[in-house]
């Protein structure tokens, strides 16, 4: 037991040690396609083949290059669900591209912890179904991507901005339409509405309402005085199924121009 | 002397599900209050109760289905059919006027009452927003069925509508899909009722 030089002249480094650092550098993502390297290992299907563009896959820090034009033949001998996997087998020090199929449902893949004693990991880079007459790629399947540090940071910054925008900044909404005495405001999130002070622009006045009181399917009524002492009322209600707020007014001419919500 | 927000209470009665006989453990305690003076309309909570307070002038407008009032404030005017059970307080000096105001000529008002209910409830059905208050659709339909059958506009419902209204209202979680066909059918019936002048079946 002792210290082992790794990044030093003449050092002898194992593939496991190298892979451990790659794994760490790849944000400890178990398996994924290296984003923005090569052509991203995208797939297409034609003539019973699934074809891949080139790119890099990393599984627990083990790097594999998929060459351009790599393809797998799918025999249309039965109806099955399948994956095309890059399979790493440390027991045999091998890597392979294989199809794994089962009837009735997608197969369960072997995914052992290669960093901690496991030897086999199957990483699916494509998913498909087949019948005796057709091969269909599942285009909704998106293999995990391993992003560059810069991309990951930019995305995190954007997520943080979105979070602040979604939860803390002022937002404004105009009615999508008026139907009789009801004005509809679409795309309202209940959780955000409940954190807001809502200012309703009606009858050329700004009426302040507490968002927490505009709950599910219960009407909140607010009173407005205008032209001196004239009184009108409006109801405010959140419709949870369609995520909209509806404001009911006494008269169709009581135009609700907009709402502004402050959090 | 009872007051509400500084105004003398002239009359007070229950409205909502307690008045109509559809209350359950989750029901709100709703009250209509008529106030002396000129406070207009005040909608507020007091001791956990929902209070809908009107001065006399506003109360008259409510009972006359005044078009300048929110649908919400006039669609349950049939609550006056239950006053024999729901009336809590009536000031002697206001008695005659109150009885006069609440004596709605339903033969003339039923169409506008139905129309205001359509205006209010149709959006929930169209958008499939299954609010608990949609039980009123069964109630209204039942009330009209009874009216058609007997010529009496009263808070009495044929058993089928009564049971459906209670079944819908008493659900722990509303499963609207089981009722949407009924609601659409009732809205269509109500529209036909208004168009035909009360002869939707004919």
What range defines the domain where residue B53 resides? 3-101
Instruction: Judge whether residue A96 has pLDDT over 90.
Output: yes
Task: Mark which residues 87-106 of A lie under 8 Å from B by CB.
Answer: none
Going by the DSSP 8-state scheme, the letter that residue A110 receives in this structure is: P
Q: Which of A181, A217, A231 faces B41 most closely, judged by CB atoms? A: A231
Mean predicted confidence (pLDDT) in A193-206: 89
Q: Do B42 and A223 touch (CB under 8 A)?
A: yes
A219 touches chain B (CB under 8 A): yes
CA atoms within 13 A on the CB side of A261: 25
**Confidence at residue A79, expressed as pLDDT on a 0 to 100 scale:** 97
Predicted confidence band of residue A212 (pLDDT cuts 50, 70, 90): confident
For A173, other C-beta atoms within 10 Å of its C-beta total 16
In a domain, A89, yes or no: yes
Q: Do A217 and B132 touch (CB under 8 A)?
A: yes
- The answer to pTM > 0.80 is no
**One domain, residues A28 and A137:** yes
pLDDT in tens, A17-47: 999 999 999 999 999 999 999 999 999 999 9
**One domain, residues A144 and A217:** no
Mean predicted confidence (pLDDT) in A134-139: 96
**One domain, residues B113 and B186:** yes
Look at the block and give the residue holding tokens 């995990």. A144
Mean predicted confidence (pLDDT) in B43-49: 83
**d(C-alpha A182, C-alpha A245), whole Å:** 10
Q: Do A217 and B133 touch (CB under 8 A)?
A: yes
Number of domains in chain A: 2
In a domain, A247, yes or no: yes
Pick from B46, B72, B101: which residue ends a domain?
B101
pLDDT in tens, B84-141: 999 999 999 999 999 999 999 999 999 999 999 999 999 999 999 998 899 999 999 9
Query: In this structure, what CATH number is given to the domain that contains residue B83?
Result: 3.30.460.10
Contacting residues of A for B132, CB less than 8 Å apart? 217
Q: Which of A75-79, B32-36, B95-99, B196-200 has the lowest mean pLDDT?
A: B196-200
Query: In this structure, what CATH number is given to the domain that contains residue A44?
Result: 2.60.520.10
| B150, B101 contact by CB (below 8 A) | no
A180 touches chain B (CB under 8 A): yes
Average pLDDT of chain B is: 94
Q: Which tokens hold the place of A144?
A: 């995990």
Give me the long-range contacts of A196-199 (CB less than 8 A, separation at least 24).
A196/A261, A196/A262, A196/A263, A197/A261, A197/A262, A197/A263, A198/A236, A198/A259, A198/A260, A198/A261, A199/A259, A199/A260, A199/A261, A199/A262
In a domain, B202, yes or no: no
Instruction: Judge whether residue A230 has pLDDT over 90.
Output: no
Predicted confidence band of residue B54 (pLDDT cuts 50, 70, 90): very high
Contacting residues of B for A249, CB less than 8 Å apart? 70
State the ipTM, two decimals: 0.86
**d(C-alpha A231, C-alpha A238), whole Å:** 24
**d(C-alpha B134, C-alpha B27), whole Å:** 14
Contacting residues of A for B53, CB less than 8 Å apart? none
Going by the DSSP 8-state scheme, the letter that residue A207 receives in this structure is: E
B126 touches chain A (CB under 8 A): no
**d(C-alpha B80, C-alpha B96), whole Å:** 15
A228 touches chain B (CB under 8 A): no
**Confidence at residue B202, expressed as pLDDT on a 0 to 100 scale:** 59
Percent of chain B residues topping a pLDDT of 90: 83
**Confidence at residue A216, expressed as pLDDT on a 0 to 100 scale:** 55
B69 touches chain A (CB under 8 A): yes
Number of domains in chain B: 2
Higher-confidence residue of B125 and A225: namely B125
């Amino acid at each position: 037991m002792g210290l082992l030089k790794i990044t030093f002249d003449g050092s002898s480094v194992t593939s496991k040690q190298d892979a451990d650092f790659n794994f760490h550098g790849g944000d400890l993502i178990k398996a994924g396609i290296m984003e923005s390297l090569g052509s991203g290992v995208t797939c297409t299907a034609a003539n019973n083949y699934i074809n891949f563009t080139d790119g890099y896959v990393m599984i627990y820090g083990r790097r594999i290059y998929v060459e351009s034009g790599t393809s797998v033949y799918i025999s249309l001998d039965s109806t099955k669900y399948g994956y095309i996997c890059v399979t790493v087998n440390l027991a045999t020090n091998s890597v392979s591209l294989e199809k794994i199929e089962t009837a009735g449902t997608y197969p369960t893949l072997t995914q052992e912890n290669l960093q901690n004693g496991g030897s086999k990991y199957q990483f699916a880079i494509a998913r498909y179904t087949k019948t005796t007459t057709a091969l269909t790629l599942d285009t909704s399947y998106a293999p995990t991507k391993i992003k560059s540090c810069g991309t990951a940071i930019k995305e995190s910054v954007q997520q943080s901005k979105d979070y602040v925008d979604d939860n803390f900044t002022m937002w404004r909404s105009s009615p999508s339409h008026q139907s009789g005495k009801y004005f509809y405001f679409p795309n309202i999130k209940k959780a955000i509405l409940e954190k807001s002070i809502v200012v309703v622009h009606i009858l050329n006045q700004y009426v302040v309402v507490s968002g927490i009181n505009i709950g599910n399917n219960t009407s909140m009524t607010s009173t407005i005085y205008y032209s001196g002492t004239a009184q009108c009322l409006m109801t405010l209600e959140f419709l949870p199924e369609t995520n909209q707020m509806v404001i009911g007014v006494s008269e169709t001419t009581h135009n609700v121009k907009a709402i502004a919500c402050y959090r | 002397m009872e007051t509400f927000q500084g105004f003398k209470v002239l009359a007070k009665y229950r409205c909502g599900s307690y008045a109509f006989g559809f209350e359950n453990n989750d029901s709100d305690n709703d009250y209509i209050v008529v106030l002396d003076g000129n406070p207009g309309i005040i909608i507020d909570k007091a001791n956990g109760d929902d209070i809908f307070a009107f001065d006399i002038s506003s109360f008259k407008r409510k009972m006359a289905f005044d078009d300048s009032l929110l649908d919400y404030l006039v669609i349950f005017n049939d609550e006056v059919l239950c006053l024999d059970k729901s009336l809590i307080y009536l000031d002697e000096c206001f008695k005659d006027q109150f009885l006069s105001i609440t004596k709605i000529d339903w033969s003339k008002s039923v169409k506008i009452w139905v129309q205001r209910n359509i205006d209010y409830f149709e959006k929930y059905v169209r958008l499939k927003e299954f609010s608990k208050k949609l039980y009123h659709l069964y109630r209204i339909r039942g009330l009209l069925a009874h009216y058609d059958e007997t010529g009496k506009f009263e808070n009495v419902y044929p058993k089928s509508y009564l049971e459906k209204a209670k079944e819908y209202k008493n659900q722990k979680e509303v499963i609207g899909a089981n009722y949407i066909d009924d609601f659409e059918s009732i809205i269509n019936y109500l529209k036909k009722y208004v168009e035909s002048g009360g002869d939707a079946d004919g």
